[in-house]
């Protein structure tokens, strides 16, 4: 485990930079992680996706898949790729303070 400073606080992250404790997450941390991932600024639409992911994680113990978000009309797949380019499930989960989704390489 490694520590790094994000949004003025020191946080624990894993080897790939994912927060190890999803409970410390807040929008300031999300914005800092997003900036590191090349997404700046976070829009209301980004936050809507992140909040949905966090709600699903709290209820089911895992981050939702791209397919599930599309099926539940949270966000169309094409828009998800535009919001979180270069691996939307992994990038969105990271910004949402969740662990790396299962099946992501």
CA distance 22 to 87: 20
The end-to-end CA distance of the chain, in Å, is 19
CA distance 88 to 82: 8
Annotation marks residue 104 as catalytic: yes
Coil vs helix vs strand at 101: coil
Whole-Å CA distances, 83 to 23, 33, 51 = 24, 14, 14
Catalytic residue among 13, 31, 104, 105: 104
Q: Contact at 8 Å (CB) between 16 and 93?
A: no
Q: Active-site positions?
A: 104
């Amino acid at each position: 485990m490694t520590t790094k400073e994000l949004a003025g606080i020191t946080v624990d992250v894993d080897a790939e930079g994912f927060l190890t404790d999803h409970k410390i997450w807040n929008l300031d941390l999300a914005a800092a992680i997003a900036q590191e991932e090349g997404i700046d600024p976070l829009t209301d639409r980004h936050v809507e996706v992140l909040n949905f992911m966090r709600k699903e994680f709290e209820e089911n113990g895992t981050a939702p898949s791209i397919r599930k978000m599309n099926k539940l009309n949270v966000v169309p797949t094409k828009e998800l790729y535009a919001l979180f380019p270069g691996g939307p499930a992994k990038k969105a989960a990271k910004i949402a303070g969740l662990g790396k989704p299962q099946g992501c390489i």
